[in-house]
Amino acid sequence: MGFSGLETFWQPQVKNILGSDSQTWVFGALTAGYFFAGSIGNVFITPLCKLFKNNYLLVLFFLRFFMGVLLFILALQNKIAGFTIFYLTLFLYNGMSNAPHATIFNYQIPAEKRSTLLSFESLFLQIGGLLGALIMGYISNSFSITIAWFIGSAILVLSCFTYLFLFLSKKSIVEQKV
């Protein structure tokens, strides 16, 4: 839900920064850039997890926390250069978070239940995305995209504590080696 406002409103925000949508190459470059940034994040996650001794929940706590901070800083940007740096860095961190999450999920869920729970997880992601788009859309329309992103940032930061709680309560998950 917290990330939904970014995915929905980055293009209007870039248009606001640029003053028009006539520089379409910027939109294409940012779209390609977030794909590559996410891919690079997948490359960096293995050494980062090793640095944290494969404490995946702790890694996810920090990644989600920094994503929230980056979204807050991104919301403050009014120049395309600053926007680009923080936008791509945010997607780098987002790309890093997929592998540790999948590792924990696959380790904790028995194979015979995995496909059902993956579908259930997907359902919750879709509901969160839908609610995020509706709520952030309302906030963006009523106030501004910046305010919606501040709220999304707060959601990301607050949600990171779920990983910290799980880390503190379930040491066996974070000590799993890949």
pLDDT score for 117: 92
CATH architecture for the domain at 4-174? Up-down Bundle (1.20)
- Count Cα neighbours of 171 within 13 Å in the Cβ-side half-sphere: 0
- Count Cα neighbours of 69 within 13 Å in the Cβ-side half-sphere: 9
Model pLDDT for residues 61-104, shown as the tens digit of each residue: 999 999 999 999 999 999 999 999 999 999 999 999 999 999 98
pLDDT score for 53: 93
pLDDT score for 91: 96
pLDDT score for 177: 47
* Confidence label for 3 from pLDDT (cuts 50, 70 and 90): confident
pLDDT, averaged across the chain? 91
Burial (CB < 10 A; 0-12, 13-18, 19+), residue 103, is: buried
Beta strands in 40-94 (DSSP E): none
What is the arithmetic mean of pLDDT over 137-156? 96
Domain coordinates in residue numbering, the chain: 4-174
* Confidence label for 175 from pLDDT (cuts 50, 70 and 90): low
Model pLDDT for residues 6-51, shown as the tens digit of each residue: 999 999 999 999 997 778 899 999 999 999 999 999 999 999 999 9
